[in-house]
């Protein structure tokens, strides 16, 4: 069953007088529980496609259905509510709040739920346990290594139990060994926790951890490698 279904999706940007066509009629289906690596050269439209699936951008044309919800035409408020329930984001540069401890960073998405403070803290601790950082809960991002910060970011993406994790170059800022650890963690989340993962990467080795790899070039899906 497809958790992501894109139909004839187009995306155009206007830069001054110039119209830049980023995606040209993308058709794509991703099955629930899949782990997809999205590869392609710079400017091919990988991140734009990821943003459309994550509900933080809207296509110029076409249909984007994720987790059973048509995202095109949804209001900003409804999209925000939908993201809170369905999507976990993992970024290349972690994007943790430097003033908060690891535990509080992980707890952030739960502020939008009706959970009690105690329950929020407990869920955040569980998420940190999953990524193996329970002993660093009280550390601030500045006191953690890059790999540890990305683990905190993964715990934050997980904590609200979303169906889909969208990852934009999650290992792009890490050394090889640390990147392998993070990719291993994503594999566990996919296999053991059933999360659907869509990961943008330049790195073929990173892509090898995924079940499927999609290639984008000049706004078109050119091949799909299983």
Partner 1 sequence: MNKFSLVWSNLFRRKVRTFLTLFSVLVAFLLFALLRTVVVAFEGGVELAGVDRLNVSPKYSIIDPLPVSHRNEILNVEGVTAISQQSWFGGSYQSPTNFFPKFPVRPREYFQMYSELIIDPAQLEAFENNRIGAVVPAAMAEQFEWRLGDRIPIEGDIYIKRDGNKLWEFELVGTYETPDSAFLSSAFLFNYDYFNEAIPEQMQGIVSWFTIRVENPDEAAEVAARIDAVFENSRNPTRSATEAEFTRQFASQLGDIGLMMNGILSAVFFTILLLTANTMSQAFRERIPELAVLKTFGFTDFSVSALVLAESIMLCALGGALGIGLAALVSGAIAPVVESLLGSFQLTVTTMASGMAIAVLLGVVVGLVPAISANRLQIVDALRK
Residue numbers at the binding site for partner 1 (CB under 8 A):
51, 54, 56-57, 76-77, 80-85, 87, 89, 91, 95, 97-100, 104, 107-109, 111-112, 117, 120-121, 160
Question: CB-wise, 65 or 91, nearer to partner 1?
Answer: 91
For the bound state, the minimum distance from the C-beta of residue 84 to partner 1, rounded and expressed in Å, comes to 2
Residue from 181, 186, 148, 179 nearest 164 by CA: 186
User: What are the angstrom distances between the C-alpha of 201 and each of 56, 181, 226?
Assistant: 19, 16, 16
Q: Residue 136: how many CB atoms within 10 A of its CB?
A: 20
Exposure b/e, 80-100, CB count within 10 A at least 16 = b: eebbeebbbbbbbebebeeee
For the bound state, the minimum distance from the C-beta of residue 49 to partner 1, rounded and expressed in Å, comes to 12
Question: CB-wise, 38 or 213, nearer to partner 1?
Answer: 38
For the bound state, the minimum distance from the C-beta of residue 57 to partner 1, rounded and expressed in Å, comes to 5
For the bound state, the minimum distance from the C-beta of residue 134 to partner 1, rounded and expressed in Å, comes to 17
Q: Residue 77: how many CB atoms within 10 A of its CB?
A: 8
Question: CB-wise, 17 or 77, nearer to partner 1?
Answer: 77
By three-state DSSP, how is residue 35 classified?
strand
Q: Across the chain, where does the E strand assignment appear?
A: 2-15, 18-31, 35-39, 61-66, 69-70, 87-90, 164-168, 196-200, 212-217, 220-225
For the bound state, the minimum distance from the C-beta of residue 100 to partner 1, rounded and expressed in Å, comes to 6
Question: CB-wise, 60 or 81, nearer to partner 1?
Answer: 81
Question: CB-wise, 171 or 213, nearer to partner 1?
Answer: 171
């Amino acid at each position: 069953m497809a958790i992501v279904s894109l139909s004839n999706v187009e995306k155009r940007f206007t830069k001054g007088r110039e119209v830049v066509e980023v995606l040209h009629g993308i058709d794509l289906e991703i099955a629930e529980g899949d782990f997809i690596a999205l590869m392609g050269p710079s400017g091919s439209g990988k991140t734009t496609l990821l943003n459309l699936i994550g509900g933080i951008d809207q296509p110029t044309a076409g249909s984007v259905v994720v987790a059973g919800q048509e995202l095109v035409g949804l209001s900003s408020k409804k999209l925000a509510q939908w993201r809170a329930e369905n999507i976990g984001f993992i970024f290349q540069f972690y994007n943790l709040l430097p003033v908060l401890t690891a535990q509080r960073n992980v707890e952030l998405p739960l502020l939008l739920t009706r959970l009690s403070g105690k329950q929020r803290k407990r869920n955040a601790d569980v998420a940190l346990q999953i990524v193996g950082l329970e002993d660093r809960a009280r550390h601030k991002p500045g006191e953690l290594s890059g790999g540890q910060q990305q683990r905190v970011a993964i715990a934050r993406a997980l904590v609200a139990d979303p169906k889909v994790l969208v990852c934009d170059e999650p290992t792009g800022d890490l050394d090889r060994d640390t990147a392998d650890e993070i990719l291993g963690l994503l594999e566990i989340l996919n296999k053991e926790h059933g999360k659907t993962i869509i990961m943008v990467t330049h790195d073929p080795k990173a892509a090898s951890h995924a079940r499927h790899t999609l290639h984008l070039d000049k706004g078109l899906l050119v091949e799909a490698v299983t």
